[in-house]
Amino acid sequence: MATFAVTYSYANGTAAARDTHRPNHVEFLQSQFDGGRLLKSGPFGPDEAPGALLVIEGESKADVEALMDQDPFFRNNLVEERSIRQWNIFFGADGK
C-alpha cells in the first residue's frame, strides 16, 4: 500500500453544517482508523484557513479518492477543495 496526504479546505459559511455532520464524519474516520487505512488526521489550527490534513493508506490515488468520496463532509458539499497526493515518506517511515 502507498501513503497519501489528503487535504480539505472547507467551504465558507459551512461551520454550522459541519457541526451537524461532524458525528457522522468522525464515525467514518474512526472506522478508517480502526481498519488501519487512516494513519493520522486532524483539523488545521485556529489561525489557519478552515480545513484538515488526513494521512491515508491506499492501493492507488483512485482508491483513496473513492474512499474519501464516502466522507459525510464531502458527500454534503462541505469540502470546497480536496487534494489527494501520494506521499513518499522518507524520515519516520518506520514509525520513529
Question: Residue-wise pLDDT tens for the chain (96 aa)?
Answer: 999 999 999 988 999 999 999 999 999 999 999 999 999 999 999 999 999 999 999 999 999 999 999 999 999 999 999 999 999 999 886 655
Assess if residue 92 is contained within a domain.
no
pTM of the model: 0.91
Write the DSSP string, 22-43: HHHHHHHHHHHHHTT-EEEEEE
Domain that holds residue 77: 2-86
Number of domains composing the chain: 1
What CATH number should be reported for the domain holding residue 51? 3.30.70.1060
So what's the pLDDT on residue 92?
Answer: 80
Whole-Å CA distances, 72 to 25, 91, 93: 5, 32, 30
Assess if residue 96 is contained within a domain.
no
Assess if residue 9 is contained within a domain.
yes
So what's the pLDDT on residue 14?
Answer: 94
